[in-house]
Structure 1
Amino acid sequence: MMTDAPDPPAPSADPDPPSEPSPSSLLHPRREAFEYGLLPIPKLVFTDPIQTLAPLKQKLASKSPARRVDSASLADALQISADHAKLVLDTLSSVLHSDSDPFVRARADEVDSVGADVRDLVLFLYIQSYKKLLPRPHKDSASVADVWPSTSAFDGYLSALSPLQLVRSNSRRFMPSQADEEAHQLSYLQKHLANMISLLAEPSEGEGEESQVLTIEHFEHLGLLIQFGDKESEGIPLSQAAPFFANSDPDMPAVPVPVAQVHDWLLQNITTALEHISERVSPKENGPSNTSDQDVAMSDASTTLAKPAVSPRGPCFIEGISKSSLVKQASDLKGSSLKVLNCHDSVIYILAPLRYVTVYGCSDATIVLGAVGKAVRVEHCERVHVIVAAKRVCIANCRECIFYLGVNQQPLIVGDNHKLQVAPYNTFYSQLEEHLAEAGIEVNINKWDEPLTQGVVDPHDSISHPAGVSDAQAESAARLDPDQFTNFLIPNWLGGESAGSTKDNPFPLPAAYMESQQRNRNNLEEIKQALRNTPLVENRKRELSSALHVYFKDWLYASGNIRQLYCLQGD
Structure 2
Amino acid sequence: MEEIEPPNNSSSSCKQAVCLHARREAFEYGLLPITKLIFSDGTATLAPLKDKLIQRSSSSSQRIDADGISQVLQISIDNARLLLHTLAAVLPSDSDPLVSANPDDNVGADVNDLILFLYIQSYKRILPKTHKDSAAVADVWPSTSAFDGFLSALSPLQFVLSNNRRLMPSQADEEAHQLSYLQKHLANILALLAESVEGGDEESLVFTLERFEHLGFLIQFGENGSEGIPLSQAAPFFANSDPDMPAVPVPAAQVHDWVLQNIASALEHITERVSAKENGPPNASDQDVSMADACTSSLKGLTSIRSPSFIEGISKTSFVKQGSDLKGSSVKVLNCHDSVIYILAPLRYATVYGCSDATIVLGAIGKAVRVEHCERVQVIAAAKRICIANCRECVFFLGVNQRPLILGDNHKLQVAPYNTFYSQLEEHMTQVGIEATINRWNEPLALGVVDPQDSLSHPAGVADVQAESATCLDPDQFTNFLIPNWFGGESPEPTKHNPFPLPEVYMASQQKNHTNLGEIKQSLRDVQLEENRKRELSCALHVYFKDWLYASGNIRQLYCLQGD
What TM-score do you get using the length of structure 1 for normalisation? 0.87
Task: For 2:196 and 2:365, locate their aligned partners in 1 and report how far apart those are by CA, in whole Å.
Answer: 41
2:150 maps to what in 1? 163
2:65 maps to what in 1? 70
Q: Deviations over 1:375-417 (max 9, x none)?
A: 0000000000000000000000000000000000100000000
Q: Aligned in 2, Cα 1:233/1:181: closer, same or farther, shift over 3 Å?
A: farther
Q: Show the 5 A alignment for 1:25-104.
A: 25-63=18-56, 64-65=58-59, 66-104=61-99
Q: Show the 5 A alignment for 1:159-558.
A: 162-163=149-150, 165-166=152-153, 170-173=158-161, 175-205=168-198, 210-230=203-223, 235-282=228-275, 285=278, 306=294, 308-309=298-299, 310-313=301-304, 314-463=307-456, 465-466=458-459, 469-498=462-491, 500-558=493-551
Q: Aligned in 2, Cα 1:232/1:387: closer, same or farther, shift over 3 Å?
A: farther
Q: Deviations over 1:63-93 (max 9, x none)?
A: 2211111111111101111111111100000
Q: What fraction of aligned residue pairs are identical, expressed as a percent?
A: 72
Secondary structure in 1 aligned to 2:311? strand
Task: For 1:138 and 1:467, locate their aligned partners in 2 and report how far apart those are by CA, in whole Å.
Answer: 16
Q: Aligned in 2, Cα 1:230/1:284: closer, same or farther, shift over 3 Å?
A: closer
Contact 2:403 2:440 in 1 (8 A): yes
What is the identity, as a one-letter code, of the residue corresponding to 1:359?
V
CA-CA distance at 1:535 after TM superposition? 2.2
Task: For 1:168 and 1:540, locate their aligned partners in 2 and report how far apart those are by CA, in whole Å.
Answer: 48
Secondary structure in 1 aligned to 2:391? coil
Q: Aligned in 2, Cα 1:527/1:425: closer, same or farther, shift over 3 Å?
A: same
What is the identity, as a one-letter code, of the residue corresponding to 1:271?
A
CA-CA distance at 1:25 after TM superposition? 1.3
Contact 1:383 1:400 in 2 (8 A): yes
Alignment gaps of 5+ in structure 1: 1-11, 140-159, 288-301
The alignment's C-alpha RMSD in Å is 2.5
Task: For 1:231 and 1:36, locate their aligned partners in 2 and report how far apart those are by CA, in whole Å.
Answer: 23
What is the identity, as a one-letter code, of the residue corresponding to 1:89?
L
Task: For 1:464 and 1:51, locate their aligned partners in 2 and report how far apart those are by CA, in whole Å.
Answer: 27
The match for 1:106 among 101, 107, 111 is: 101
Q: Deviations over 1:172-212 (max 9, x none)?
A: 35541000000000000001111111111111246756411
1:122 maps to what in 2? 115
Secondary structure in 2 aligned to 1:502? coil
Q: Deviations over 1:327-363 (max 9, x none)?
A: 1111000111100000000000011100000000000
1:561 maps to what in 2? 554
Contact 2:309 2:328 in 1 (8 A): yes
Secondary structure in 2 aligned to 1:265? helix
Q: Deviations over 1:143-190 (max 9, x none)?
A: xxxxxxxxxxxxxxxxx9813545896543554100000000000000
Task: For 1:277 and 1:184, locate their aligned partners in 2 and report how far apart those are by CA, in whole Å.
Answer: 11
Secondary structure in 2 aligned to 1:374? strand
Q: Count how many residue pairs are aligned between Structure 1 and Structure 2.
A: 522
Task: For 1:76 and 1:551, locate their aligned partners in 2 and report how far apart those are by CA, in whole Å.
Answer: 59
Contact 2:225 2:303 in 1 (8 A): no
Task: For 1:304 and 1:401, locate their aligned partners in 2 and report how far apart those are by CA, in whole Å.
Answer: 22
Contact 1:120 1:221 in 2 (8 A): yes
Secondary structure in 2 aligned to 1:359? strand
Task: For 1:195 and 1:13, locate their aligned partners in 2 and report how far apart those are by CA, in whole Å.
Answer: 25
Contact 1:67 1:117 in 2 (8 A): yes
Secondary structure in 2 aligned to 1:469? coil
Task: For 1:506 and 1:379, locate their aligned partners in 2 and report how far apart those are by CA, in whole Å.
Answer: 27
Task: For 1:164 and 1:559, locate their aligned partners in 2 and report how far apart those are by CA, in whole Å.
Answer: 29
Contact 1:360 1:378 in 2 (8 A): yes
CA-CA distance at 1:469 after TM superposition? 3.2
Q: Deviations over 1:74-115 (max 9, x none)?
A: 1110111111111110000000001111111112343xx111
Task: For 1:392 and 1:566, locate their aligned partners in 2 and report how far apart those are by CA, in whole Å.
Answer: 29
Task: For 2:184 and 2:395, locate their aligned partners in 1 and report how far apart those are by CA, in whole Å.
Answer: 41
Secondary structure in 2 aligned to 1:369? strand
Task: For 1:390 and 1:303, locate their aligned partners in 2 and report how far apart those are by CA, in whole Å.
Answer: 24
Task: For 2:392 and 2:207, locate their aligned partners in 1 and report how far apart those are by CA, in whole Å.
Answer: 48
CA-CA distance at 1:52 after TM superposition? 1.6
CA-CA distance at 1:230 after TM superposition? 4.1
Alignment gaps of 5+ in structure 2: 1-6, 133-146, 281-289
Contact 2:333 2:351 in 1 (8 A): yes
CA-CA distance at 1:465 after TM superposition? 3.7
CA-CA distance at 1:464 after TM superposition? 6.9
Task: For 1:304 and 1:481, locate their aligned partners in 2 and report how far apart those are by CA, in whole Å.
Answer: 36
CA-CA distance at 1:135 after TM superposition? 2.0
What is the identity, as a one-letter code, of the residue corresponding to 1:195?
N
Contact 1:180 1:303 in 2 (8 A): no
Q: Aligned in 2, Cα 1:268/1:68: closer, same or farther, shift over 3 Å?
A: same
CA-CA distance at 1:495 after TM superposition? 1.6
Contact 1:455 1:470 in 2 (8 A): no
Q: Aligned in 2, Cα 1:481/1:98: closer, same or farther, shift over 3 Å?
A: same
Q: Deviations over 1:472-516 (max 9, x none)?
A: 111000000000000000111112245642010000011110000
Secondary structure in 2 aligned to 1:114? coil
Q: Aligned in 2, Cα 1:510/1:23: closer, same or farther, shift over 3 Å?
A: farther
Secondary structure in 2 aligned to 1:162? coil
What is the identity, as a one-letter code, of the residue corresponding to 1:85?
A
Q: Deviations over 1:267-287 (max 9, x none)?
A: 000000000000001278389
Q: Aligned in 2, Cα 1:482/1:453: closer, same or farther, shift over 3 Å?
A: same
Q: Aligned in 2, Cα 1:414/1:561: closer, same or farther, shift over 3 Å?
A: same
Q: Aligned in 2, Cα 1:41/1:96: closer, same or farther, shift over 3 Å?
A: same
1:8 maps to what in 2? none
Task: For 1:420 and 1:364, locate their aligned partners in 2 and report how far apart those are by CA, in whole Å.
Answer: 14
Task: For 1:183 and 1:44, locate their aligned partners in 2 and report how far apart those are by CA, in whole Å.
Answer: 24
Contact 1:108 1:409 in 2 (8 A): no
Task: For 1:399 and 1:186, locate their aligned partners in 2 and report how far apart those are by CA, in whole Å.
Answer: 33
What is the identity, as a one-letter code, of the residue corresponding to 2:533?
R
Contact 1:230 1:312 in 2 (8 A): no
Task: For 1:303 and 1:537, locate their aligned partners in 2 and report how far apart those are by CA, in whole Å.
Answer: 59
Contact 1:344 1:363 in 2 (8 A): yes
What is the identity, as a one-letter code, of the residue corresponding to 1:172?
V
Secondary structure in 2 aligned to 1:389? strand
